Amino acid sequence: MDTLGEALPREQARVRELIGEYKSIGPAGAFAVAGMEADLREADAAVMEQDIPRMIRVYESLKGWTS
């Protein structure tokens, strides 16, 4: 079982890869890309502030993005 400190960065990297996939489909993927980028900004801020409850919420949100 991973800790949040291990799982969140891995999830952030996975979503960053997904952004590339969604961008490759053109304008149809723009809405999803905007949502993913917002979640990634939220994750970065939560990590920088060491806000554990916020990190958990954004981790769950990131897990919802699929290809």
- Give 30-54 pLDDT, tens digit per residue: 999 999 999 999 999 999 999 999 9
Mention every residue, 6+ apart, whose C-beta is less than 8 A from residue 32. 22, 65
**pLDDT given for residue 1 in this prediction:** 86
What is the model's pTM? 0.93
Q: How many CB atoms lie within 10 A of CB 40?
A: 19
61 vs 6: CA distance, rounded Å: 16
Distance, in Å, from the CA atom of 22 to the CA atom of 45, rounded to the nearest integer, reads: 23
> Tokens standing for 26?
């053109």
Q: What is the DSSP letter of 38?
A: H
